[in-house]
Amino acid sequence: MSLTGSSPTSRLSSTPSDCSHCSIFPTDDFRHAASYQLATDAKEIAMRIGVIGTGKVGATLGDALGRAGHEVKLGSRHPGDSVGGPPLVDVAAALAAADVVLLAVPPGALGELLAEHAKSLAGKLIIDATNQFGGASANASVQVAAAVPTARYARVFNTLGWENFAEPIFDGEPADLFFSCRAADRPVLEELISAVGLRPAYLGEDKQDVVDGALLLWFSLVQANGGNRRIAFRVLQK
């Protein structure tokens, strides 16, 4: 794995032992075998996405996904007309129109959101981009499972600063983004991560705590590099 940033790069390397058949990155065989039918050419299918939270992370991701051709609505407690980006609507409307829900709300708002909108979230793919700093866990997997048992949980878009979602290219190559989800949802997450301009790096199912390890590593690197947030990761694999 290499670490890449706008300041001098530190490099770590790892070589999987006897795993030439394995890949954490997307493969054509996996895409064709998945339960979601994806386009076989370069064009991705359009998905209906409700992004809940209009801060730096939510707004940046919503704009990138909308520009990639997905149908995005930004859910806010203060809806209105957005300028040059996805429409800004109330949270209920964003959820009602969505097949995929991306949570990018402050930690203190998450519990109330899940309780109030549990019915609308039932059965949907919920992408957890929140970070519960100061809690027992940085991710909201336990809260989501308790409030919406039928939801499909994914952990992604939480390990890099929003600046790297806005500008995901380093030295001409996209940075890697670690994520965890059910195997059946992997192609959807890969498509959304790629739509933002990053390279998806799958860690497996129920690996949200491993994903969060990259969050801690990223923060440590930012602090060690004088607050430079333009730092990201790249995995090297043979």
**What is the per-residue pLDDT across 93-116, written as a single tens digit (0 to 9) for each?**
999 989 999 999 998 899 999 999
By DSSP bridging, strand 2-5 and strand 88-90 are unpaired
Average pLDDT over residues 63-73: 96
On the question of pLDDT at 39 being above 90, the answer is no
At 92, is the pLDDT very low, low, confident or very high (cuts 50, 70, 90)?
A: very high
Please tell me the predicted confidence (pLDDT) of residue 23: 66
On the question of pLDDT at 40 being above 70, the answer is no
On the question of pLDDT at 135 being above 50, the answer is yes
pTM of the full predicted structure?
0.84
Q: Select from 5, 14, 28, 10 the least CA-distant residue to 237.
A: 14
On the question of pLDDT at 31 being above 60, the answer is no
Please tell me the predicted confidence (pLDDT) of residue 25: 72
Please tell me the predicted confidence (pLDDT) of residue 84: 67
Contacts of 20 by beta carbon, 8 Å cutoff, 6+ apart: 238
Average pLDDT over residues 206-224: 97
Q: Tell me which amino acid residue 75 is.
A: G
Residue 88 burial (10 A CB sphere; 0-12, 13-18, 19+): buried
On the question of pLDDT at 33 being above 50, the answer is no
Please tell me the predicted confidence (pLDDT) of residue 136: 86
On the question of pLDDT at 29 being above 60, the answer is no
The mean pLDDT of the chain is 86
On the question of pLDDT at 81 being above 90, the answer is no
More confident residue, 41 or 165: 165
Please tell me the predicted confidence (pLDDT) of residue 6: 52
On the question of pLDDT at 189 being above 50, the answer is yes
> Hey, which residues does 169 pair with through a beta bridge?
174
Please tell me the predicted confidence (pLDDT) of residue 41: 32
Please tell me the predicted confidence (pLDDT) of residue 48: 97
